Amino acid sequence: MSLSPPLNLADYEALAQPLMHPAVWDYVVAGAGDGITLAENRLAFDRIAIRPRMLVDVSRIDTTTSVLGASVAAPIMIASSGQHGAICAEAECATAKAAGRAGLAMVASSGSNRTIEDIAAVATGPLWMQLYLFPDRPRTVALLQRAEAAGCRAIALTVDSPRWGRKERSLRTEDQFNWPAQANLADLPPATAVWPDGGAPATWADVDWLRGATRLPILLKGILTAEDAALAVERGVEGVIVSNHGGRQLDGVLASIDALPEIVAAADGRCEIYLDGGVRRGVDVLKALALGARAVMIGRPVLWGLAVDGAAGAFDVLDILRRELTSAMALSGRPTIADIDRSLVR
């Protein structure tokens, strides 16, 4: 069966594999440990059944919404992920062009292969920067100031990585590839210490520090419990990203879509809730929104798009997902994002 042109994100996955170096492929698709959480991220979505409403006027479907106050074409964002430069020469600049063309927001990784300034220069949609705290604060402050100066609209602090997860599939092959450098680091003050435990720790005290170190809104990326969501709200963060890091940190943690309801309940509207992990179809976006997410983020599929056709491929991945969401909204009787509520899922 010919997969050309790709009809869905799974087609992009199939097309991307032979185009990517095996070590890069392993890095991208790997989960931690036995891959139980990686699989659950998908299975948990498929266990949720939609209850569609009929005979609603769906002649105009409006997928537009806002993320931290910025208008976007759909509640779909590009999750932060690394190594775009191992997949596409233009690296994160290609990704940013795709996001902008699609009218969507993107989270750039602090470990990107292009500098945040380069990415921001081509980004036309809202740009957030993901952050791993460096042990020495001046280095972190310098990066934050650069992000602010470049026009980033929010900082997504990764909170689930005090140690790097063991992606064993990737550990077996990572030495077979010459990975591109992390561009932001080259222009940062030299490090007085690297992450001593093989990971980027952060604590609630660091969140308070970060609040004082930047004027940008702060999101915590990697929250999986109601308890932590409540603490996040108390600290005054603007958003929480429900995520298990694509199943790449602690294998055995619950699926992100399964964690979402308790977090939405705990936040109770006091900050915005985002979700990544397992979103592969427009109907998955619908399910996440029905359970209270403001928007979803996708990671791996964007990289498959980059591998297949650079910025155009990444755009097409986003566009397929947006079109699937449009169709799913029409077929479930929800013409606007505001119409999507808890009664939509069983």
Calpha distance 336→343 (Å, rounded): 15
Under rule CB under 8 A, residue 168 binds its own copies: yes
Query: Could you tell me the two tokens for 287?
Result: 């399910």
Q: Please report whether residue 263 would count as binding its own copies according to CB under 8 A.
A: no
**Residue choice 14, 64, 192, 227 for contact with its own copies (CB under 8 A):** 227
Minimum distance of its own copies from residue 126's CB (angstroms): 25
Bond from prior residue into 52 cis (ω within 30 degrees of 0): no
141 binds its own copies (CB under 8 A): no
Q: Which of 16, 28, 58, 78 binds its own copies (CB under 8 A)?
A: 58
Minimum CB separation of residue 164 from its own copies in Å reads 9
| Catalytic residue, candidates 97, 153, 245, 294 | 245
Q: Pick out residues in 103-132 that bind its own copies (CB under 8 A).
A: none
Q: Which of residues 184-203 bind its own copies (CB under 8 A)?
A: 197, 199, 201-203
Q: Please state the length of the chain.
A: 346
Per CB under 8 A, the list member of 69, 149, 172, 176 interacting with its own copies is: 172
Does residue 52 belong to the site contacting its own copies (CB under 8 A)?
Answer: yes
Kindly state whether residue 339 participates in binding its own copies, applying the rule CB under 8 A.
Answer: no
Q: How far apart are CA 237 and CA 273, in angstroms?
A: 11
> Helix, strand, or coil here: 127?
strand
User: Is there binding between residue 342 and its own copies (CB under 8 A)?
Assistant: no
Specify whether the CB–CB gap between 221 and 159 falls below 8 A.
Answer: yes
Q: What angle do CA 215, 218, 223 make, to 5 degrees?
A: 165
Does 92 engage in binding with its own copies (CB under 8 A)? no
Which amino acid belongs to residue 285?
A: V
The alpha carbon torsion through 184, 190, 196, 201 (nearest 10 deg) reads -50
- Is 21 in the active site? no
Decide if 31 contacts 246 (C-beta within 8 A): yes
Q: Which of 54, 186, 193, 194 binds its own copies (CB under 8 A)?
A: 54
The stretch among 77-85, 122-130, 137-145, 253-261 that binds its own copies (CB under 8 A) is: 253-261
What is the spatial distance between Cα 216 and Cα 112, in angstroms, rounded to a whole number?
A: 20
Query: CB of 129 within 8 A of CB of 218?
Result: no
Regarding 275 and contact with its own copies (CB under 8 A), the answer is no
How many of the other CB atoms lie within 10 Å of CB of 259?
23
Q: What is the CA radius of gyration of the chain?
A: 19
Catalytic residues: 245
Residues near its own copies (CB under 8 A) are 1-2, 7-8, 10, 33-34, 36, 40, 46, 48-59, 159-160, 162-163, 165-166, 168, 171-172, 197, 199, 201-204, 206-207, 220, 222-225, 227-228, 231, 249-255, 258-259, 281, 283, 286-287, 324, 327-328, 330-332, 343, 346
